Amino acid sequence: MHDQIGIPACFSSMEKTSNLSPSITRSGQNVFMSVYRTKLADQCRLITVTWCKNLLLHGLSISVEGGGGDGDADACKIELKPWYFWRKHGSKRFAVDGKPVDVFWDLKAARFNGETEPISDYYVAVVCGGEVALLVGDLRNDAFRKTGCRPSLIDPVLVSRKEHIFGKRKFATRLKFHEKGSLHEVSIECKNRASCSGGGVAPEPEMEIGIDGHLVMQVKHLQWKFRGNESIHFNKGRIEVYWDVHDWLFCPGLRHALFIFKPTFLSPSSSSSSSPLSSDPASGSPDFCLFLYAWKVE
């Protein structure tokens, strides 16, 4: 079935819930991860920046892929509890393949506006060998001044973003379709539609996806189309949407559906400042994808 509808291999095999921390599903906390590819400790590695939020705290962790390339990673975790104001800026050191890596952060004035990831007035910098291998946030000058290190000669590439959200029938989040783009409201709703079957009226599940309040995709007969993909046009660009809602429909308990949004970047001649899709290399890899895990709570 996957080959027939063109779902990529990563849709079913690479994004397993076994990689999740059990605390995510137990606490119902929102989680937002950005994965970058860059050079650190003499090798090209993946660096994952993870933000999580629940009622008590904001959490931040940085994990760096180990040299073996087998999924092992070294990590630095930071908890930002409301009553620990001094933890909102500082630094930590950990080792990657025996080499020291420093993480510097300043979140004293960070603006979250209800989001899991801050939207402005902050920085998080990953430093190794006298270079800033990765810098996220808008306070770039402050970061270079604090670390005393030079920028890396290799620009990090944004590979993917992953978000975990919780809801009942409707799921809403705000996403960027590329690194320097604006936030867009994305909603996903699974509903039952009355249909005539065998002389009676039976509920039939269907799904709707909206962007910025506009319905962009509708999937009827969801019980037969629980996996699939569709191309949608949005603001002069195109987004491939893949979905797998099998566990929503057929598995009891707390289960998640997986949605993948893959933007198609515009060519330099056709891109404009008003378009949400861009050919700017800073937007990330041509294979950049957004992974949205929607956990259905009964």
Residues 6+ apart with CB under 8 A from 244: 7, 11, 12, 226, 227, 257, 258
- Classified as helix, coil or strand, 12 is helix
More confident residue, 240 or 274: 240
pLDDT digits (tens, 9 = 90+) for 71-89: 566 777 776 666 555 568 8
Question: How far apart, in whole angstroms, are the C-alpha atoms of residue 287 and residue 144?
Answer: 30
Which pLDDT score, from 0 to 100, does residue 282 have?
A: 41
More confident residue, 206 or 54: 206
Q: Report residue 201's pLDDT band, with 50, 70 and 90 as the boundaries.
A: low
Query: Would you kindly state where each structural domain of the chain is located, as residue ranges?
Result: 29-155, 166-296
What is the CB neighbour count within 10 angstroms for residue 255?
19
Q: Report residue 234's pLDDT band, with 50, 70 and 90 as the boundaries.
A: confident
> Whole-number mean pLDDT of the chain?
78
Is 44 within 8 Å of 38 (Cβ atoms)?
A: yes
Question: How far apart, in whole angstroms, are the C-alpha atoms of residue 8 and residue 262?
Answer: 11
% of the chain with per-residue pLDDT over 90: 36
Which pLDDT score, from 0 to 100, does residue 227 have?
A: 94
Instruction: Name the residue with tokens 């892929």.
Output: 65
Is 38 within 8 Å of 157 (Cβ atoms)?
A: yes
Measure the N-to-C terminal CA separation of the chain; round to a whole number of Å. 29
